[in-house]
Amino acid sequence: MLPTPADAAEKLADALNPAPFEQGRYRNLAVQPKDGVLKKLKIGFKFLLRRKPPYTRPQRPIPVRPLDREALLASPDGSLWRLGHSTVLIKAQGLFFITDPVFSERASPVQWAGPLRFHQPPITLEALPPIKAVILSHNHYDHLDEAAVKRLAEHAEWFLAPLGVGDTLVKWGIAAHKVRQLDWWQETDIDGVRFAATPTQHFSGRGLFDSNATLWASWVMITPAWRLFFSGDSGYFNGFKLIGERYGPFDLTLMETGAYNVAWPAVHMQPEQSLQAHLDLNGRWLLPIHNGTFDLSTHPWHEPFDRISALAQAAGVALTTPQMGEQVNIAAPQATGKWWE
């Protein structure tokens, strides 16, 4: 029997439900392989202690455009700047927002081992303009930097986080009244800028025993002038199409494209999937993130840029790949050169 419109509506309603939460753990809509303690220890040993091939890191300094507070304050509304990995500074309604601020030297539980930065951020934490809100996607070391969050505590007015991640912030000393925690599909407004926490297919945790105790999310950001999507981390799933149907089209998608591996298909996308997710979202311009700062997998560091550039060109997708610190107009991005070459 063919599905009826009522069947389709019921399926959509199910997909728009809050994140599944069972026995104190969140889970994805699709069942994922279990991630036990022994597997975590094996991954930790492999990526914190083992030497990687030299091509996972650039052999020369990569270009970084320095930023300063005065120039940022004078910049036009609707601008953004990549600061590294998934850290993006956004100016909206005259206010500044920052995604997944990671400023530490290593994306690691310790600063004497683990993935080391390729470059310094284009601006220091202390030099940032006042931050209206910090937008956090999930509780992993390359996205939630405890030292950066604590230093932003006095200078950021709000912290937006998926469920449970806000509790971690409060434990670190962030004032509870500054923290807004959202479930999937919940929305909040900050001075006329609308935010929605939307699903991803991923996982969370900082240690051996806290797997999925906190939620993971992507974020939709809407102003009267433009719509922006920030992917966080995700494997490819049908949630991108649902997000596009509910909130698209997007002027710009900040899409995870990097630190992938064929062994992690459920939680990280290959570039082909990143491009498809952008199309599912009904995005106009694609800006690949989650690359160019840390060696979190075993592919050549520049491979994500090479692959997504070729794919976008073949598909006729508008792509912008700014240098770290280079200004981008969200409503009207520009094509950029292949600085990684």
For residue 26, being part of any structural domain is answered with: no
For residue 205, being part of any structural domain is answered with: yes
The reported pLDDT for the residue numbered 42 is 53
The reported pLDDT for the residue numbered 39 is 53
Task: For residue 241, list its beta bridge partners.
Answer: none
Cis bond before residue 249 (omega within 30° of 0): yes
Q: Which residues contact 138 (CB under 8 A, 6 or more apart)?
A: 144, 162, 165, 200, 202, 204, 214, 215, 216, 217, 232, 233
pLDDT in tens, the chain (341 residues): 444 444 444 444 456 789 988 888 989 987 666 654 445 445 545 555 556 778 999 999 999 999 999 999 999 999 999 999 999 999 999 999 999 999 999 998 888 888 999 999 999 999 999 999 999 999 999 999 999 999 999 889 999 999 999 999 999 999 999 999 999 999 999 999 999 999 999 999 887 777 889 999 999 999 999 999 999 999 999 999 999 999 999 999 999 999 999 988 899 999 999 999 999 999 999 999 999 999 999 999 999 999 999 999 999 999 999 999 999 999 999 999 999 99
The reported pLDDT for the residue numbered 208 is 79
For residue 267, being part of any structural domain is answered with: yes
Q: How large is the angle between the packed helices 5-15 and 239-247, nearest 10 degrees?
A: 100
Q: What is the Cα–Cα distance from 115 to 26, expressed in whole angstroms?
A: 27
With a threshold of 0.85, does the pTM exceed it? yes
Quick one: CA dihedral 54, 60, 62, 67, positive or negative?
A: positive
For residue 247, being part of any structural domain is answered with: yes
What the block records as the tokens of 43 is 């991954």
The reported pLDDT for the residue numbered 40 is 44
Q: How many structural domains are present in the chain?
A: 1
CATH label of the domain that carries residue 254: 3.60.15.10
For residue 222, being part of any structural domain is answered with: yes
For residue 17, being part of any structural domain is answered with: no
* Structural domain span for residue 206: 49-329
Q: Which residues contact 195 (CB under 8 A, 6 or more apart)?
A: 133, 135, 160, 182, 187, 188, 189, 219, 220, 221, 222
Pairing of strands 193-198, 218-222: antiparallel
For residue 39, being part of any structural domain is answered with: no
The reported pLDDT for the residue numbered 21 is 84
How far is C-alpha 238 from the geometric centre of its chain's CA atoms? 18
Task: For residue 228, list its beta bridge partners.
Answer: 221, 252
The reported pLDDT for the residue numbered 65 is 98
How far from 251 is each of 42, 222, 238, 311, CA to CA, in Å? Answer: 41, 10, 20, 19
For residue 32, being part of any structural domain is answered with: no
